Amino acid sequence: MSAALLTDAARRELLPTGALRLAVNIANAEMAAETSPGRFEGKAIDLSRRLAADWSIPVVILPFASGGAILGDLEAWDAAVLAVEPSRRDRLHFLPPFARVDATLATLGRSDISTCLDADAPGVRIAVVRGAAYTVHLEASTAQAELVPFDSPRDARAALLDGTCDVVAGIRSTLAGLARENAAVRLMEDDVLCIPQALAIALGKPNAQAALDTWFAARAEPAAL
């Protein structure tokens, strides 16, 4: 892949500071996890390394506590790896998905709730994260349970552990980590949502959008990353 595909006009739109500031959601460990101070690993990081190598550009990883936090600070970053959610397309241009993650529910062992469908019942309080793709889905599909929003996945998980909520929603791999740390936590076997993940940029950057679309279409399949 030639760096020449990044035209001067696209470079000005995509790299206003000289480096690509890439926002990642470190609550989604499959995409990005901080393995040591300032060092990140995951599928989003693999993708960013490929882009950096193909275009010979520096990439700065900007960690955020949630997808909602990324959306709340559009001016801080040039590109982001986010869940593809239709309600976000009024602000963002998404490339095709390069990975998928599962969102599910977790409860405590003493609960009678055994499936995600069981959780939608009167009196059940489900901890969710503001702005998360699975939260948007639950807001549209939940008929009887009460959704209790929190600012971060950490706060939502704490609400389950301290009894504030009966159930917590989250990325399956993240909730599995919580279950490893606390034997009382039990994950549902089914999922709330399978969430496509994609690179996104803010609307209004046509040259950068065209360059990224061309780069993504020409790259190897995700399995080769």
Percent of the chain with pLDDT over 70: 96
Give the model's pLDDT for residue 222. 47
pLDDT(225) > 60 = no
Other CB atoms within 10 Å distance of the CB of residue 54: 16
Q: Which residue has the tokens 């609307």?
A: 203
Higher pLDDT, residue 67 or 19: 19
Type of residue at 103: A
* Per-residue pLDDT band at 224 (split at 50, 70, 90): very low
Give the model's pLDDT for residue 131. 87
Mean pLDDT computed over 145-166: 96
* Per-residue pLDDT band at 1 (split at 50, 70, 90): very low
pLDDT(59) > 90 = yes
Condensed to tens digits (0 to 9), the pLDDT of residues 72-105 reads 999 999 999 999 989 899 999 999 999 999 999 9
pLDDT(12) > 90 = yes
Provide the β-strand partners of residue 198.
82
- For the chain, the average pLDDT equals 92
Q: The whole model's pTM is what?
A: 0.81
Cα 164 to Cα 177: distance, rounded to the nearest angstrom: 20
Give the model's pLDDT for residue 220. 53
Give the model's pLDDT for residue 28. 87
Checking phi first, is residue 29 left (phi over 0); if not, alpha (psi -120 to 50) or beta?
A: alpha
Give the model's pLDDT for residue 184. 95
Q: Cβ(174)–Cβ(153) under 8 Å?
A: yes
Q: Which of 100, 117, 152 is nearest to 131 (CA)?
A: 152
